[in-house]
Each structure stands twice: as structure tokens, then as C-alpha cells.
Amino acid sequence: MTTNLRTAYGETLVELGKTNKHIVVLDADLCKSTMGVLFENTYPDRHFEMGIAEANMASVAAGLALTGKIPFIASFAAFAPGRCYDQIRTSICIPGLNVKICGSSAGLSDFGDGSTHQSIDDIALMRLLPGMQVFSPVDAVQTAQIVEYMAANNGPMYIRVNRNDLPVLTPEGQTFTPGSLYTMNEGCDVAIFATGITVSIALEAAKELNSKGIQAKILNVPSIKPLDESVVLDICNETKAYITFEEHSIYGGLGDAINAVVAPKLAKKHIRLGLQDVFGTSAQNYKVLLEHYGFIPETVVKAAIDILK
């Protein structure tokens, strides 16, 4: 099994395409990056290269969905949904069509191309649309599981996919259920809700916190919308405070989703970790960029210590 989320996306579609002839894949001049090229190579009659025309790609996908096809459209997450938001809203979500959107190279993971290619707002854009489901997998295994779910279930859905190889954290035998949260580390002092690459960073922070006598409960949240609100409340009831951590703006993403559940019902201190109302920038490698914006264990450790004072 690959450790690259983009490859998992492409390989899973190829596998699903063997038995589900309704699946079609559309790309906007980036199929070698999104890994839609794997589907193109296997089923050339069911892959459509739309060129650098993301809005048109979304509109064509809506038309294909009306004929009974299951279109998966993909581009960098900065461009899909960014460049085709109006078409996703009007042509896909208002009629509730069965179109699947993959925001590839999400967050800061396209480290070399800078702010124009880095998606700090895609979760927020997709989360606010009525009927849209929003997913952010932790690794390649969960990516494959989510793509399988997307293909098997009706309605508009969005998955954001990291560009780089990430450690496999999904335990063998664990299945994906929309809305579910997955406990990665037990703790009773502070709950840390993380998604995507921030899960592995939070797990490293939990080790340091443990050495300081602080027990952190780490949650992997691959399903931003829907979200099991009762589980979120139970977790926050059992801990003294909570932190949200995402490779996305602190506005409109995971932090707002968790706060919307907890704040009206529980008086708990909380901190939102993520991009602090800033755009990304270019860097020589992903690690340098993550460190620059505070996506490191030390950020989480400090936040946990501060919030428990």
C-alpha cells in the first residue's frame, strides 16, 4: 500500500472502476499530479482532460451526473474548489448532484509554488455549502476508504488530499464511517482534535506532554462534515479543555466546526491552532514550511500547557 495520498486516490479509482462502470474522472491539466492519470491509463474512454478550465470542468461534471455517471473532478485544492466555487454551488450543490471533488495538494503541501497554490480556505468554502460532505484523511489508507465511500454513496462530496507521503496511522481493520472521530491517544487533561497531517504532529506532542504529566487525548477527525456532535461533546465533557489543530486557516475549518458544537453547551477553554489569518509562502521543502507556520509538536505542547494553567 502506498503512503502517498494522491496515489491512493488514483489507485482506488482504478480499482473501483473495474466493477463500477459509472465512475468517470475529470482533470484540469493536472492529471499527472492528482494521479487521475492512473485512471486515464486504465480507462481512457472514461477520463476527460478539461484543460485549465476548472469552472467548465465542474459544469461538465454536473451534466455527467444528470446522465447517471459518478464524476470525480480533481485539481489542486486552491483551484478546485477555488476557481469553480460558483459552479459547485449553483450547478452541483443546489440540485444536490452526485459529483465528487478532490482538492489535491491541499494545505501548504505544495510547498514550492507559494501562496497562489496553497489552500488555506478549502474546508471553509466546502463546509458552508448545504448538502456538501467534507473529508480530510489522515493517511493513504483512510484516503482509499473515503474514496470508496464517496463512490458508493449519493450526493456532493469533497476530499482534501495532501501532496506528500504521510505516515500510515490508520490501524489495521479500522473502517471509515462519516461523522466518526478516531481516538489515537488516550488522555483526560486536554482533548486535541486534529485532521490530516496535524494528527501525527499532535501524537508527537502527546509524548512530550506525557513527560510533563499532562495526558492528552488525540482525536483524528477525517470527517469535518458530517460530524458526530454527541461524541465531540462527550470527549469535551471528559477533559478539562480542548485544542483544534488543522493545516488550514483557523477560520471556517475544523476549529469552527468543533466550537460550533461545544461552545453553546459547555464552558470549556479552547485554543484554535492552524494558519493564523495568513497566506502561505514558498519554501525549499515541506518541513521548512511547516516549521515556519508552527506546525510542530512544540506549538501543541505550549498550547496545552497554557490552556491548563
Q: Return mean pLDDT, the chain.
A: 98
d(C-alpha 246, C-alpha 82), whole Å: 19
281 — pLDDT class (breaks 50, 70, 90)? very high
Q: Is 229 part of the annotated catalytic residue set?
A: no
Segments making up each domain of the chain, as ranges = 5-160, 182-307
Span 156-169, pLDDT tens digits: 999 999 999 999 99
In degrees to the nearest 10, what's the CA dihedral of 119, 121, 123, 129?
Answer: -130
Report the pLDDT value the prediction gives residue 1, as an integer from 0 to 100. 72
Provide the CA 256 distance to its chain's centre, in angstroms: 15
The per-residue pLDDT for range 3-31, each reduced to its tens digit, is: 999 999 999 999 999 999 999 999 999 99
Residue 306 has pLDDT above 90, yes or no: yes
pLDDT tens for each residue of 206-236: 999 999 999 999 999 999 999 999 999 999 9
- Domain 5-160 and domain 182-307 have a common topology: yes
pLDDT at 182 > cutoff 80: yes
Q: Which one of 11, 54, 246, 247 is the catalytic residue?
A: 54
State if pTM tops 0.85.
Answer: yes
The conformational region for residue 299 under phi > 0 = left, psi -120 to 50 = alpha, else beta, is alpha
Polymer length of the chain: 309
- Does residue 248 surpass a pLDDT of 90? yes
**Kind of pairing between the strands at 216-220 and 269-275:** unpaired
Q: Please tell us whether the domain made up of 182-307 is placed in CATH 3.40.50.920.
A: yes
CATH topology for 5-160 is: Rossmann fold (3.40.50)
